Structure 1
Amino acid sequence: MVVSPRIEQLRRDLADGPVGGVLARFWAEVALVGTPLVEPYDDECRLVTFVWKQDQPVERVVVIGGPALWWEIPDNQLERLDGTNVWFRTYLVGADHRGRYVLSPDDSLQPLAAAGTPAAVERAAAFRPDPFNRTPFTLPGIENDPGSPPQYFSTFALDQATPRCFAEPRPDVPRGAVREAMFASEVLGNERKVWLWESAVDTSEPALLVLLDGRDWTEVLPIFPTLDNLVAEGLLPPMVAVLPDSIDFATRARELPCHEGFAHFLAEELLPWARRRTGATADPRRIVVAGKSYGGLASVFAGLRRPDVFGNVIAQSGSFWWSPPDDEAGWLIRQVDQRVPVRFCLDVGQQEGDWMIPQTKRLAAALGQYADEVLYREYNGGHDLNCWLAELPVELRWALEP
C-alpha cells in the first residue's frame, strides 16, 4: 500500500502534541485545500488520498469511484488512524486521471447491482458525497430516468487530465440559439423532447451534430457552452446540434442497443426535421452522430446501417459488450463485414474494466478493415459524463475541424 506523506506527518504530530489540537488543525487544513488530498510522486503519477471525518460510530468506510474501482469494493476500505476521527486511503494514480467518487460508511461490501434496478437505487441511497470536496456533481436521477432520486458525487481532475477549458460560458462569446420541441416518431410510436442548438456564427448549410441522450447534455452537464466556445475560436465550423432525449431508462435500454427502428428514426425522421428548421447540411461528410455508453453503441450501429447519412461517428465508452438475447457477446463486431465510407472515433476509459477496453479494441480493429478512418482513444477515467465532456471537444474537432 502506498503511503501519503501528509498522513505520515499527521501520525508524527499526534505522537508529539495534544490530540485535539492536532486533529483540529488537520481538519482545518483539509477544509482549506479540499479533497481528495493530492501529493506529488513522480513525473507521471500522484498520490491521491481520500479521507472521512467520523462524527458517529462506523465499522467501515469505503470509497467507490475514481481509482477505487467499483468492482473491487472490499479492497477500497479506508483505514482508521488509531484513536482519532480520521479515516483514509491513499492511491497511486496517473497524473492524467479524472474521476468521480462517493464515500460509503458502513458499506455492505457487496457487488453493485445493475444500474436502474431497485437494489441499485436502494444501495445508492447510502452513498455520500465527500463534504470537503470542492467540485460536487449531481445526477438528477438514474440515466434518463427523471423519476429516480438524485445521485450526489464528488469529482476531481489531476494536473495532466484532459482540460475542460471549453466547458464554461465566456462573457465575450456569443451564445447559440437553443430551442426545445416535442417530436413524435411514427416508426418508434412515441414522443420525446428534442433540443436544437444553432451556433451564433451564421452560414449556409451548417454542419450537423446528432448527440444522443440529450437530457444529460442539456440538464446535467450542458454541452452548449462547449460548442459556443469551439465555434467562436474557429475550432469547429458553424453548425447545428440536435439532441434527442431518451425518454426514460426502459425506453433507452430498448431503443439504443442496435435498434433498426431507432437508426431509421434518426436518419429518416429526426434529421429531415432538423434540416427543415435550420438549413443544416445533408452532406454525410459534415454530419456527426455521437453518443456515450448505449448511445455510443447506437451511434456506431447508425453509421454502419446508414453510411449515406452519417459520415462521422463518435462513440464514447460504447457498450460494445451488448448482444441480443441468446446471442454471443460482440454481436456488433460481427456486423462489420462490408465497406462503409464512414470515419469512426471510439474512446474508452482506462478505469472501465476488462469487458470494455478489449471489446472496444476489437471493434476498432474490425472497423479498420472497412471504414474510411478509425481513431481509437483511451482516457484515464471511468464510465463518467465528466470525462466524456472533457474528451468530446478533441473528438468533435477530429470529426469536423475546418
Structure 2
Amino acid sequence: MTHTPWAAHCAAVLLAATCSLAGAAEADAPLLPGVHGEVLQARPLALDLPAKHVLQLRFAGAGLHLDLRDAQGRHLRRLAENGRGVQTATWFSQGAQQEQLWVTPAQPGAKPLAYDLRVLNSWASAGPQPLPAEKAQMGARLAALQQALARGEGAAATQAFWREAQQRGTPWVEPWADGKVLVSFVWRDQGNTNVRLFGSPSGNHNPLQRLAGSDVWWTSAVMDPRSHLSYAFAPDVPQLPAAQAAQQRRMVLATMQRDPLNRQPFPARPWSGAQDRFQGRSSLVLAQAPPQPWVQTRAGVPQGKLTRHSVDSGILGNRRDVWTYVPAGADPQALLVLFDAHAYVHDVPTPRILDNLVADGLLPPVAAVIVGNASPEARDAELPPNPRFARFIAEELMPWARSQGLAQTARRTVVAGSSYGGLVSSYLGLTHPELFGNVLSLSGSYWWAPPGEAPGWMQRAWQALPAPVPAVRFYLDAGWYETGRGGREGILETNRALADILRARGLSVTQREYASGHDYLHWQGALGCGLVALLAPARYDMKDERLQGCVGAGAS
C-alpha cells in the first residue's frame, strides 16, 4: 500500500490513542460461563437463568435463531435472528423455572449447525421502581379524559378513550401553536411500575406519567409537522443498584417493545418466524414528513442480486459477513461501500432502494458491498477511527471487492454509513481518498475522540490535514432531535462544525438537516438522497420532483 501524506499524518496522530481499541477488536469482553455445541432441531439450552437479573447474552450461530420460551415451551421473545451475524440480547430474567432459552434452526436441514452462547453481563435487580414525573403538555383529548375522571366517570371514560385509540391508532397528534403539533404517546397500564419512551424527540428515554384514576400512562412532545422517527415503549425498566448507575440507561433494552396500538411497525416486516411485541419499533410519520419513494416494493422493477459472503481478515484476526449487491441487467458503473450490514440488509431495504433509484433513472447502475461487524464488541473498537481497520478496508476488503468484479474508480465509489458508520466513512475519505472519492454520512458521530482528548477528533483531523487536500465530496445528514444535552455538543452541532471545516478547506459539501433523530427510519430515505447528490449531482441540483423528500432544511 502506498501511504499518501494525509494517510501518514492521520495514522501518526491516531496510532497511540487507538492501539488499545484495535486490540479490543480481537478479544471478547469479560465473559461469564456460557454454552456451545451443535443442533439439528430446536432444543432448549442447559443454562441456569437466574431470576431477577438483567442478562446480556452474546450469540453466534449461522442458520439459527435464539428464542426465549416459557416453562410450557410457548414463545415469549426472539432474542437473536439468523443472518444478522454475532448478536447481543438483553432482557430481565424471571429465572429457569419460568423461562428457557431455545436454539432453533431457521430451516430444516440434514446437517447439525454450530452455536456459541455466552453471558456477557448479569446485573442483579430488585425490579422496576417508580420514576418521578416530568413536565409535559397535555393535549385536548387527554384533558377531556382528565375532566371526565374528575366527574367520577372513571371506567366508562377510560374505556371510551381506549376504544377511540384502537380505532384511530396511536400516538395522538393534535394541532398546536406556531404551526407545530402536539404528539401524545400513550400506554395502557398492565400493572406497570414505570414506563419509558425510547426514541422520544428529546433522546432521553422520557418517563411516562399515569393519569390519576385511570389505566392511562402518557407523555407528549411539541414537534415539527415534518417529523418522522421510530419509537418504542419500555415498561417496568429494572433498576440497578446505585453502584451500577453507568449501566442504568441501557436497561430500557431489557423490556423495550412496539406500541401495540400503532399500525406502522418499523421495519415494515419484523423479524421472521415467531412474532412477538419485542421485534422492531413503531413509526411516527407526521403529515408533512418528507416522502421516501424508493423504499417500497414496486411491481415490474428488476431486482438485483444480493449474496452473502464470509470474509476473513488477517489484519484484524476476525471474520465477518459481507453482502454484495449487483444490479440487474447492466454492468455496475458505481460502487457503494456501506457499513452495519445487520441493519442495512435486514431493516433498511438497501437492495430495493438501489433497484428503484436505478429504475427511476436517478442513478447509474450501482453495485454495493455491505460490510457486517465481526461482533457488537468489534464494532465499538473498529468503526471509531482505527488505523488497523482502515488497513483492513484498503488492503483486504477492497482487493476482495475487485476480485468480485465490483471495483470502481475513487470518483465513482461512495463510502457510507450511519452513526459510527458515518464516522468511519469520513475517516476512510481522510486516509484513503485514492479509494473513496465520496463520503455519505448519516448522523455521523463526530463528537467522538480518543480517551483523554476533547470531543471532535474528526474535525481537527480535517482542519490539520496538510495541503493539498484531497478532493473528496461529502453528503452530511443530521437530525434536529440529535442536539447535545448537559452543555455538550451533540451529533447535530458536530455535523455542522465538520461541514464548516470541510468547506473552509475547499471541499464540496451537501449538508441536510431533518426533523428526525438517530433513526434508521429516517436514514433509509436519506441513503437514496445522498447517493443521488454524490453520484448524479447535476440531477440532484435540478430539483427533480422525485427528489422532493431530499430538500431538508440545511444549507448546501
- Same fold per superposition (TM over 0.5): yes
Partner of 2:447: 321
Equivalent position SS for 2:283: strand
Q: Which residue number in structure 2 is paired with residue 65 of structure 1?
A: 199
Match of 1:304 among 430, 433, 449: 430
Q: CA RMSD in A?
A: 2.8
Which residue number corresponds to residue 261 of structure 2? 132
Give the TM-score, by structure 1 length. Answer: 0.86
CA separation in 2, counterparts of 1:151 and 1:259?
32
Q: Which amino acid aligns with 2:256?
A: F
Secondary structure (helix, strand or coil) at the match of 1:344 reads strand
Which residue number in structure 2 is paired with residue 9 of structure 1?
Answer: 144
Q: Write the distance in 1 (CA, Å) between the matches of 2:316 and 2:284.
A: 39
Aligned AA (2:214): T
> Residues 211 and 242 of structure 1 are in contact (CA less than 8 Å); yes or no, is this contact kept in structure 2?
yes
2:167 to 32, 36, 45: 32
**Alignment match, 1:144:** none
Contact 1:240 1:278 in 2 (8 A): no
Q: Residues 98 and 156 of structure 1 are in contact (CA less than 8 Å); yes or no, is this contact kept in structure 2?
A: yes
Is the 1:296–1:315 contact (alpha carbons within 8 Å) kept by the matching residues of 2? Answer: yes
Deviations 1:143-190 (A, max 9, x none): xxxxxxx76432211122222221122122111111111112233232
Aligned length: 383
- DSSP-derived class of the 2:508 partner: strand
Amino acid at match of 2:253: A
* Alignment CA distance shift 1:186-1:371 (3 Å): farther
Native 8 Å contact 2:322 2:369 kept in 1: yes
Q: Kindly indicate whether the alpha-carbon contact (under 8 Å) linking 2:337 and 2:416 is maintained by their aligned counterparts in 1.
A: yes
Partner residue in 1 for 2:356: 229
Alignment check: 8 A CA contact 1:348 1:356 kept: yes
Flag the 1:333–1:365 CA change in 2: closer, same or farther, 3 A.
same
Residue 45 of structure 1: CA displacement?
Answer: 1.6
Higher Rg: 2
Alpha-carbon distance between aligned partners in 2 of 1:186 and 1:8, rounded to the nearest angstrom: 63
CA distance in 1, matches of 2:167, 2:254: 28
For each residue in 1:177-223, what CA deviation from the matched residue of structure 2 results, as whole angstroms up to 9, or x when unmatched? 111111122332322111000111403x5200000112211123321
Task: Give yes or no for the alignment of 1:351 onto 2:481.
Answer: yes
Q: Distance in 1 between matches of 2:476 and 2:239?
A: 33
1:252 shift after superposition: 1.0
- Using the TM superposition, name which of 366-375 and 233-242 deviates more: 366-375
In structure 2, the partner of 1:145 is: none
Share of identical aligned residues, percent?
38
Q: Secondary structure at the match of 2:498?
A: helix
CA distance in 1, matches of 2:499, 2:202: 28
- 1:292-336 deviation per Cα after TM superposition (whole angstroms, max 9, x unaligned): 111111100100111111111011111112222333322222221
Deviation at 1:382, TM superposition (A): 1.5
1:101·1:153 contact (CA, 8 Å) conserved in 2?
yes
**Partner residue of 1:166?**
294
* Cα deviation 1:216-269 (Å, max 9, x = unaligned): 111233211111111111111101000111121111111111122222322332
Checking the alignment, whether the CA contact within 8 Å between 2:433 and 2:470 is kept in structure 1 is yes
Distance in 2 between the 1:121 and 1:344 partners? Answer: 33
The amino acid across from 1:209 in the alignment is: L
Structure 2 residues without counterparts, runs of 5 or longer: 1-135, 270-277, 485-489, 540-556
For residues 49 and 245 of structure 1, do their structure 2 counterparts lie closer, same or farther at Cα, with a shift above 3 Å needed?
same
Q: In structure 1, what is the Cα distance between the partners aligned to 2:194 and 2:381?
A: 39
Instruction: Describe how 1:47-196 pairs up with structure 2 within 5 A.
Output: 47-56=182-191, 58-70=192-204, 73=205, 76-107=206-237, 122-137=251-266, 152-196=280-324
> In structure 2, do the counterparts of structure 1 residues 78 and 325 end up closer, same or farther at CA, with 3 Å as the change threshold?
closer
**Is structure 2 residue 180 aligned with structure 1 residue 45?**
yes
Could you tell me how far 1:68 is from its partner in structure 2?
Answer: 4.2
Partner of 1:147: none
Is the CA contact (8 Å cut-off) linking 1:162 and 1:391 kept in structure 2?
no
SS in 2 for 1:194: strand
For the 8 Å contact 2:416–2:440, the answer to whether it is kept is yes
Matches within 5 A, 1:146-295: 152-203=280-331, 206-281=333-408, 283-295=409-421
1:329-360, CA deviations, whole angstroms, 9 ceiling, x for partnerless residues? Answer: 22222221231111011222221232222222
Residues 99, 156 of structure 1: 8 Å contact kept = yes
SS at match of 2:222: strand
Name structure 1 gaps, 5 residues minimum.
141-149
Aligned to 2:470: 340
Aligned pairs (5 A) from 1:379-394: 379-394=514-529
Asked whether the 8 Å contact 2:439–2:473 carries over to 1, the reply is: yes
- Whether the 8 Å contact between 1:344 and 1:371 is mirrored in structure 2 is no
8 A Cα contact 1:340 1:370, kept in partner:
no
Q: Distance in 1 between matches of 2:218 and 2:251?
A: 25
Aligned to 1:220, the other structure's residue is in SS state coil
Q: Deviations over 1:122-143 (max 9, x none)?
A: 4421334321122234799xxx
**What's the TM-score, normalizing by structure 2?**
0.63
2:99 is aligned to: none
Question: Distance between the aligned counterparts of 1:277 and 1:79, measured in 2?
Answer: 55
